[in-house]
Structure 1
Amino acid sequence: MSAREAIALVTSDFTELPYPHRSTRPDGPLAWAGYDGARAAATERTGESESVICGTATVAGRPAVLVSFEFRYLGGSLGQRTGDRLEAAYAAAREHRIPLVSLVATGGSRMQEGMVALRQLQRVAAQSALNRAAGLPQLAVVRDPTTGGGWATLGAGADVVLTLPGAQVGFAGSRVRPPDADPAAYSAEGQFAAGAVDAVVAPERLSACLGHWLRLLTTPAAGAPEPPRALGDAVPPATGWDAVHRARSPERPRAEAYLDAYFDSREPISGDRCGGTDDGMLCGVGLRAGRAIAYAAQTGTPTRPAGYRTAARLIRLADRLSLPVLTLIDTPGAAHDAAAERAGAGAAIADVFTAVAAARVPLTSLVVGEGGSGGALALAAPANTWATPDSYFSVIAPEAAASILKRPPEEVPALAGELRLRPQDLVDLGVVRGIVPT
């Protein structure tokens, strides 16, 4: 797929930017023999004068700056003139206050320019940082192939990373990998499974998906989100043990049901960008009454470190883009098996506490099921947490409390009452603001 074919996948309205002019020495900064001839041949082959095309566009009705790589031009490699064009594209996004979308297909830095080429990655990172500071979204569509520094900057460094099915994606290109490397690890699907990519999107869906994301990231709702209405039992529990049983019931509505009822449409983000995913933590951005709200929702399972890191990533992204945040709390507690400990459970939970505490955007939280200890509290808005009638929130599960206090199992139901974990108890204690109606 050429650079212009990639552009045509997402828009029919593209206006190319004027490019900076740079006079260069014969055969480039290293005087690499034959470099000028290689560039001339690449231009004749592709019709392009560099490995990247930049311009303004509308994608599904939403404005953006588009950057599209031409892999047939010296492997889509980044050289000094490529860096000039990318810098101009980031600057145009800041000037027009619009997102930047990169359609990436690159083999990395251009060897014929040596370290001068490699340093372009620093230029890209600096420009990306300026756009982040300006509160402007950055999205990447990873095409085939995307490797090297292009993946490590424009690709993996974007706020939302989409990829086309079957694309080769990875830091190491096919010619420099270890001989025993698993090819699946360097695929779009493999990177998605490893938490480095948010979604694998079919070409025919790409324009609509990108347009939806552009709308979600640029139309924030105002003020704190209203808490969802309760979907389960409307009557608060009579006893603490009753509250625990109802919250643990397999028939109780879960996060998916609450998100579907609350949002008109939504898009997920996936993965912690550290090699992990957790199906027990649903994160993304949704539209409600035409305005965007970010969400992080536990699904009733013990939350794993990757889930907490994904939630922290979501909250920080929302904070930077002025998106209010809704969290749904439902976990018996953080996962505490050996694998979770090795994956940094404590640090991951601390990261969410910090992200919530530092957020400048309003947060709303709703306990929809089990609220087990610090693994649940990490997602709670300190002054704006609510509860459903079929939920509980406790310093620890009653069974674990009995074990710590050396009480016999038959005392667990009574201990649940002593913990004052019912929704109405939480209101009396000032832990939650109220019990939401059905």
Structure 2
Amino acid sequence: MVPKASAEGPATALGPLDDGPLRWDGYGAARARATESTGERESVVCGTAAIGGTRAVVISFEFRYLGGSLGSRTGDRLEAAYTRARELRLPVVSLIATGGSRMQEGMLALTQLQRIAGQSTLNRAAGLPQLAVLRDPTTGGGWATLGAGADVVLALPGAQVGFAGSRVRPADADPSAYTAEGQLATGHIDAVVPPERLRGTLARWLRLLTTPDEEPAPVPAAQGAGDPPDSGWSAVQRTRAPERPRADAYLDTYFDWREDISGDRCGGVDDGVRCGFGHRAGRTVAYAAQCGTATRPAGFRTAARLVRLADRLGIPVLTLVDTPGAANDAAAERSGAGAAIADLFAAMAAARTPLTSLLIGEGGSGGALALAAPGRLWATPDSYFSVIAPELATAILKRPPSEVPHTADQLHLRPQDLMSLGLIRGIVPAN
């Protein structure tokens, strides 16, 4: 089991009938009843366990103990758990069911959130992954620290999830927004997992996130046309063909199995971007892949989140570039398209873990370049990369539409053109 308090934060001694620092009438008796009914002396139980062969520090909430609320002694146990994880170099798995901070301890209970955040930050800096499982309910400070602050967030179906609990939210609030499914739809959790699949899913995630590797990800083989295009316009037409292989085909072939992350943690999900971690021949490779659609701000932010997590855990990254460009509608602008693209450029530039990029289709301007590893980009024969789409370039130059093919040639966007310009390392052959 995890020891009690570490030297970094002294334990708070409370006797079984002690009404606590606020002398809240009946608090000690309530704790005594909770202990009698649950067999526990606090709302969390912490220890080490093997999940699918991977050791982890496990934090499990007992909701029947005062609603799984967070008090000062809860903070003692959580701090000790995080400290033990750093000592043993283990990931932390939190099985959360809580109503929030314990009001009978007032602000002393609330400040445990700062304590938890501080410990989480130390583990993050140590390169140790954190996973959370949201049970019913996960609300208040438990959601805003252990839950939402984890690297990968899973939830049980139908779980109540939200900062506001059911008794304190507005009466006219949409109840679906406070569910696991609602949080998934708005990009705040990664997956909803049925109970019977939870152990296996956790085992896969722990295996993926605890396998650092200093070697770059291998470049995937091309899956489409084998010969480079004979003109710029034919290159563009080839990439836009409905039958051309897309990201899912590449990922399914490349990995033995994989787990996706979902959402930008800012309220958005882009179904045109796949991000996650995959198992390949005993190795873990992180991936961020565009699926051929215009990339939305949520997609750029999710990719940046993936790159930063992989970099912190020392896991190589593979990116697949395939987009006509960044989404440019009004909704995209309101969602911060420019800032999202800038953030992904920054994440790619700052990454210390090896990055490998393959252009598998359209490379449309900065929306595509943001996902391309500087100096480590390859291309398939059925791809192109251009500063601007040839149709838009033709319009800007005030040329008639009939000049689009000629403009495409002038842009030197074919794979062989990119090679001659020194913009890619090579054209990968098909299997």
Return the TM-score normalized by structure 1.
0.96
Which residue does the alignment assign to 1:232? 224
- 1:106 pairs, out of 78, 98, 108, with 98
Instruction: Please say if 1:171 is aligned against 2:163.
Output: yes
Q: Which residue pairs with 1:208 in the alignment?
A: 200
Q: What code does the residue aligned with 2:27 have?
A: Y
1:24 paired to 2:9 = no
- Counterpart amino acid of residue 300 in structure 2: Y
1:399-432 residue CA offsets vs partner (Å, 9 max, x unmatched) = 0001111111000001100000000000000111
Per-residue deviation, residues 201-220 of structure 1 (Å, max 9, x unmatched): 01111111001000100113
- Aligned match of 1:311: 303
Question: Which aligned pairs between 1:220-299 and structure 2 lie closer than 5 A?
Answer: 220-299=212-291
Hey, what's the Cα distance between the residues in 2 that align with 1:122 and 1:229?
A: 48
Partner of 1:302: 294
Q: Contact (CA 8 Å) 1:285, 1:292: kept in 2 or not? A: yes
CA contact (8 A) 1:220 1:293 kept: no
Deviation at 1:18, TM superposition (A): 3.2
Do the aligned partners of 2:70 and 2:102 also contact (CA within 8 Å) in 1?
yes
Checking the alignment, whether the CA contact within 8 Å between 1:371 and 1:392 is kept in structure 2 is yes
Unaligned runs of 5+ in 1: 1-15
Q: Distance in 2 between matches of 1:222 and 1:291?
A: 11
Give every structure 1 segment of 4 or more consecutive aligned residues whose post-TM-superposition deviation is greater than 4 Å: none
Whether contact under 8 Å (1:349, 1:375) holds in the other structure is yes
2: CA distance between counterparts of 1:406 and 1:294? 43
What pairs up with 1:37-52 in 2 under 5 angstroms? 37-52=29-44
What percent of counterpart residues are identical? 73
Q: CA deviation at 1:314?
A: 0.3
The correspondence for 2:69, drawn from 65, 74, 77, is 77
Q: Compute the displacement of 1:224 (Å).
A: 1.2
SS in 2 for 1:303: coil
Task: Tell me what 2:8 maps to.
Answer: none
Query: Which residue pairs with 1:67 in the alignment?
Result: 59
Instruction: Determine the C-alpha separation between the residues in 1 that align with 2:110 and 2:50.
Output: 31
CA distance, structure 2, for counterparts of residue 213 and residue 39 of structure 1: 36
What count of residue pairs does the alignment treat as equivalent?
423
How big is the shift at 1:45? 1.1
Q: Is the 8 A contact 1:79 1:110 kept in 2?
A: yes
**1:19: Cα distance to partner?**
2.5
- After TM superposition, the structure 1 stretch with the greater mean CA deviation from structure 2, 216-225 or 407-416, is 216-225
One-letter code of the match for 1:148? Answer: G
Farther off after superposition, 24-33 or 393-402: 24-33
Q: Is the 8 A contact 1:76 1:106 kept in 2?
A: yes
Residues 389, 435 of structure 1: 8 Å contact kept? yes
**Does the 8 A contact of 1:197 with 1:271 survive in 2?**
yes
| Structure-2 separation of matches of 1:179 and 1:62 | 44
Contact 2:157 2:181 in 1 (8 A): yes
Matched, 1:408 2:400: yes
Separation in structure 1 between the aligned mates of residue 302 and residue 12 of structure 2, nearest angstrom: 42
Gaps of 5+ in 2: 6-10
**Could you give the per-residue CA deviations for residues 374-404 of structure 1, whole angstroms, max 9, x where no partner exists?**
0000000111000000000000000000111
Matched residue, 1:427: 419
Cα offset for 1:226?
Answer: 1.4
Native 8 Å contact 2:62 2:97 kept in 1:
yes
Rounded to whole Å, the distance in 2 between the matches of 1:383 and 1:271 is 28
Q: Please state if 1:360 is matched with 2:320.
A: no
Instruction: Note the C-alpha offset of 1:310.
Output: 0.2
Q: Is the 8 A contact 1:67 1:101 kept in 2?
A: yes
Deviation per residue, 1:108-164 (Å, 9 max, x gap): 000000000000000000000000000000000000000000000000100000000
One-letter amino acid of the counterpart of residue 172, structure 2: D
In 2, Cα distance between the equivalents of 1:220 and 1:433?
25
Matched, 1:155 2:143: no
CA positional deviation for 1:221 = 3.2
Secondary structure of the corresponding residue to residue 214 of structure 1: helix
Partners in 1 of 2:53 and 2:315 — Cα distance? 21
Give the counterpart letter for 1:359 in structure 2. A
Q: Matches of 2:2 and 2:308 in 1, distance apart?
A: 31
RMSD of the TM alignment (CA)?
Answer: 0.8
CA deviations 1:92-118 (Å, max 9, x no partner) are 100100100000000000000000000
Deviations 1:279-336 (A, max 9, x none): 0000000011111010000000000000000000000000100011000000000000
Residue 88 of structure 2 aligns with which residue? 96
AA partner of residue 195 (structure 1):
G
SS for the counterpart of 1:189 is helix
| Secondary structure of 2:413's aligned partner | coil
Q: Distance between the aligned counterparts of 2:301 and 2:2, measured in 1? A: 38
1:34 Cα deviation after fit = 0.9
Q: Give the Cα separation in 1 of the matches to 2:348 and 2:52.
A: 33
Q: Post-superposition shift, 1:277?
A: 0.2
